[in-house]
């Protein structure tokens, strides 16, 4: 068995234990070690293979574009020792090797079948930057689970091993070898058929459930339309009858008009979807946080906050940290309501979560509170723990805040974007129990300025606080026009679809702590 520790790349922190004599590594999903196809782009689709030959592990480059390095030395074929670090392309993902127990043996025939699989590849690394305050440390992105192999019937290498083993036997005939191979293939095929049948049943159930849900929703809409047409027809009958003087007809006409208005509103809501409703219901709950520096009358927006109490906004801890830094330069802070209605509120107090660590290589409890002078008039609805426990990858979410490029303090207008939850992990990017699965990766569009924005579920409850985004770190060559000298610089670029936030019960715990002991969070003015 070989144990592979992902020490750099999109899956940093992940550990794989593989008990096979041939381990393929690359960005294609059917590799045993499948790197992230969007983030680990310095590695090739079929980059290298780890082969166990006569009890010894080797790494073999199989025609990669950017080369394979062992302990920073480029190799084509290299014997592996416990603790060696393999790098797949310069700046690409890295694995630390741990050789565990007696390794499986790769026979000669299987070795010959492990041919090179050249494939193209582009470049990059992945780091994390919070999205509000400059200078925040990068955090390693959480690991992404590789796609499962599509087929597990005995592969070429496995069949070759069986043939090689048979050939090494005491002069077994070709017929015997074929019988051994056919029996193994048939047994594996039966297992595959059973697995495929089970998957097919689950797929059919899921499809039928989705179709029934769609038809049910469609049926509701159709029944509303039918009732609306009937109401219009009955109202037309009453109008043509000319009996407007009868009290009974007058009452029926008023009831029909009320029902027509109600049905029209319901149909309009169904057509718009949850995003419109969430934006309308929470228009007055989101605020732009802005700084006013000495000698500069204009207000400069830098983060988003949202009302969780009449005089309290939730935001990110790194936004509070930036406010603390600017405060040493004499800056003051205001909260500007969405739409520019309701004036402006002075920030009179702020605090960070006590477990927030700005220098941590991983995300931490990045949330904080801001008290304002005045009343917001409306607050968000924080999702209770039992609702948070039901969150799943694929759930639709909405982020409502102020993207940096669109921030205009003179007329603050929030932007709502939709996405889905990609995965839910702990702060190290690993699967964990509910209590510590506090990191929500999502695909909604974000940018600097949306730090501290509320993350809503389909029902309009806040399930998280938007925090940051993963970025790709790449090396670019530049030329000094005056001297002609060339040099390399590091540049970062946001990876679309790789944003993240912290779960909203962290905000709830801050509020509870503040209620129980007003001085517990410290804070500053």
User: What is the residue-level pLDDT of the chain in tens, covering all 525 positions?
Assistant: 899 999 888 888 899 999 999 999 999 988 999 998 877 888 999 999 999 999 999 999 999 988 999 999 999 999 999 999 999 998 889 999 999 876 555 544 344 334 333 333 333 333 333 444 433 434 444 444 443 433 334 444 444 444 444 444 444 444 444 554 455 445 555 666 665 666 566 655 555 555 555 555 556 667 766 777 787 777 777 776 655 456 667 777 778 777 777 777 666 666 567 888 999 999 999 999 999 988 887 889 999 999 999 999 999 999 999 999 999 889 999 999 998 776 789 999 999 998 999 888 889 999 999 999 999 889 999 999 999 999 999 999 999 999 887 778 888 999 999 999 999 999 999 999 999 999 999 989 888 889 999 999 999 999 999 998 766 666 777 777 888 888 877 665 556 668 899 999 999 999 988 877 665 555 555
In the block, tokens 């008039």 appear at 377
The CATH number of the domain holding residue 79 is: 2.60.200.20
Strand, coil or helix: what is 163? helix
Q: Are residues 223 and 348 in the same domain?
A: no
What pLDDT, on the 0 to 100 scale, is given for residue 521?
55
In the block, tokens 């983060």 appear at 303
In a domain, 327, yes or no: yes
What pLDDT, on the 0 to 100 scale, is given for residue 149?
38
Characterize the bridge pairing of strands 22-26 and 33-34.
parallel
Angle at 25 between CA 22 and CA 30, to 5 degrees: 85
Which residues make Cβ contacts (< 8 Å) with residue 86, sequence separation at least 6?
25, 48, 59, 68, 69, 70, 80, 94, 95, 97
Contact status, residue 440 vs residue 463, Cβ threshold 8 Å: yes
Among candidate residues 32, 3, 36, the one with its CA nearest the CA of residue 148: 32
Q: Are residues 83 and 172 in the same domain?
A: no
In a domain, 147, yes or no: no
End-to-end CA distance of the chain: 58
In a domain, 134, yes or no: no
Contact status, residue 363 vs residue 353, Cβ threshold 8 Å: no
Q: Are residues 184 and 256 in the same domain?
A: yes
User: CB burial class (10 A; 0-12, 13-18, 19+) of residue 207?
Assistant: exposed
Strand, coil or helix: what is 53? strand
In a domain, 407, yes or no: yes
Contact status, residue 121 vs residue 66, Cβ threshold 8 Å: yes
Strand, coil or helix: what is 307? strand
What pLDDT, on the 0 to 100 scale, is given for residue 120?
36
User: How does DSSP classify residue 406?
Assistant: G
Query: How many domains is the chain built from?
Result: 3
User: CB burial class (10 A; 0-12, 13-18, 19+) of residue 99?
Assistant: middle
In a domain, 401, yes or no: yes
Q: Are residues 201 and 265 in the same domain?
A: yes
Written as one string, the DSSP assignment of 103-153 is PPPPPHHHHHH-----------EEEEEESSSTTPPP-PPPP-PPPPPS--S
Domain boundary, last residue among 272, 292, 307:
272
What pLDDT, on the 0 to 100 scale, is given for residue 158?
46
Determine the structural domain holding residue 212 and report its residue range.
154-272
Q: Tokens in use for 167?
A: 């050939």
Q: Are residues 505 and 487 in the same domain?
A: yes
What pLDDT, on the 0 to 100 scale, is given for residue 202?
61
Interior/surface letters 260-279, b for 16+ CB within 10 angstroms, e for the rest: beebeeeeeeeeeebbebbb
Q: Are residues 222 and 327 in the same domain?
A: no
Q: Are residues 406 and 481 in the same domain?
A: yes
Cβ-based neighbour number of residue 253 at 10 Å: 17
Q: Are residues 414 and 483 in the same domain?
A: yes
What pLDDT, on the 0 to 100 scale, is given for residue 200?
62
What pLDDT, on the 0 to 100 scale, is given for residue 217?
53
In a domain, 264, yes or no: yes
Indicate whether this model's pTM tops 0.75: no
Q: Are residues 344 and 466 in the same domain?
A: yes
Contact status, residue 39 vs residue 47, Cβ threshold 8 Å: no
Q: How many helices (H) and strands (E) does the chain have?
A: 8, 24
Q: Are residues 222 and 324 in the same domain?
A: no
What span, in angstroms and rounded, lies between the C-alpha atoms of 371 and 44? 51
Q: Are residues 20 and 67 in the same domain?
A: yes
Domain boundary, last residue among 239, 254, 272:
272
Q: Work out the widest C-alpha separation in the chain, in whole angstroms.
A: 109
Q: Are residues 104 and 192 in the same domain?
A: no
What span, in angstroms and rounded, lies between the C-alpha atoms of 483 and 306? 51
Among candidate residues 342, 338, 369, the one with its CA nearest the CA of residue 353: 369
Q: Which helix (H) or strand (E) holds 379?
A: none
In a domain, 427, yes or no: yes
Strand, coil or helix: what is 401? strand
In a domain, 146, yes or no: no
Domain boundary, last residue among 123, 139, 173:
123
What pLDDT, on the 0 to 100 scale, is given for residue 122?
36
- Cα→Cα distances 131→127, 455, 470, Å: 13, 15, 10
The CATH number of the domain holding residue 386 is: 2.40.10.120
């Amino acid at each position: 068995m070989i144990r592979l520790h992902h020490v750099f790349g999109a899956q940093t922190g992940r550990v794989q234990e593989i008990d096979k004599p041939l381990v393929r590594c690359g960005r294609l999903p059917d590799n045993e070690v499948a790197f992230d196809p969007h983030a680990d782009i310095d590695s090739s689709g079929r980059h290298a293979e780890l082969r166990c030959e006569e009890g010894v592990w080797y790494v073999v480059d199989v025609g990669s574009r950017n080369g394979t390095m062992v302990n920073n030395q480029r190799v084509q074929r290299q014997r592996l020792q416990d603790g060696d670090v393999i790098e797949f392309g310069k700046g690409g993902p890295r694995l630390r090797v741990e050789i565990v127990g007696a390794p499986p043996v790769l026979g000669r025939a299987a070795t010959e079948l492990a041919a090179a699989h050249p494939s193209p590849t582009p470049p990059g690394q992945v780091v994390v930057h919070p999205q509000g305050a400059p200078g925040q440390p990068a955090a390693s992105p959480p690991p992404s689970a590789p796609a499962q192999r599509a087929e597990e019937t005995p592969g070429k290498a496995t069949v070759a091993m069986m043939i090689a083993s048979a050939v090494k036997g005491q002069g077994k005939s070709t017929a015997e070898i074929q019988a051994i191979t056919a029996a193994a293939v048939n047994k594996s095929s039966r297992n595959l058929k059973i697995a495929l049948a089970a998957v097919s049943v689950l797929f059919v159930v899921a499809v039928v459930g989705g179709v029934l849900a769609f038809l049910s929703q469609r049926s509701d809409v159709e029944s509303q339309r039918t009732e609306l047409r009937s109401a219009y027809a009955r109202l037309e009958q009453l109008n043509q009858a000319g009996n407007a003087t009868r009290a009974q007809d007058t009452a029926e006409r008023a009831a029909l008009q009320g029902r027509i208005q109600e049905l029209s509103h319901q149909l309009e809501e169904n057509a718009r979807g949850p995003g419109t409703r969430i934006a309308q219901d929470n228009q007055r709950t989101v605020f732009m946080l802005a700084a006013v520096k000495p000698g500069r009358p204009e207000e400069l927006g830098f983060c988003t906050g949202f009302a969780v109490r009449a005089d309290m906004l939730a935001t990110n801890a790194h936004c509070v940290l930036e406010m603390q830094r600017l405060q040493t330069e004499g800056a003051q802070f205001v909260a500007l309501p969405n739409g520019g209605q309701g004036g402006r509120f002075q920030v009179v107090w702020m605090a960070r979560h006590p477990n927030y660590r700005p220098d941590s290589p991983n995300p931490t409890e990045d949330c904080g509170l801001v008290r304002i002078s005045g009343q917001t008039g409306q607050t968000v609805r924080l999702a209770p723990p039992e609702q948070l426990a039901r969150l799943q990858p694929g759930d639709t979410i909405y982020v409502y805040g102020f993207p940096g490029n669109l921030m205009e303090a003179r007329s603050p207008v929030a932007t709502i974007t939709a996405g889905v939850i990609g995965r839910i992990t702990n702060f190290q990017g690993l699967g964990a129990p509910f209590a510590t699965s506090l990191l929500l990766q999502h695909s909604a569009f974000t940018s600097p300025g949306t730090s501290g924005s509320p993350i809503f579920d389909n029902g309009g409850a806040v399930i998280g606080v938007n925090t940051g985004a993963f970025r790709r770190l790449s090396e670019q060559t530049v030329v000094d026009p005056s001297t002609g000298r060339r040099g390399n610089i590091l540049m970062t670029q946001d990876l679309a679809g790789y944003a993240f936030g912290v779960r909203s019960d962290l905000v709830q715990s801050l509020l509870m702590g503040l209620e129980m002991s007003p001085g517990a969070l410290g804070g500053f003015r």
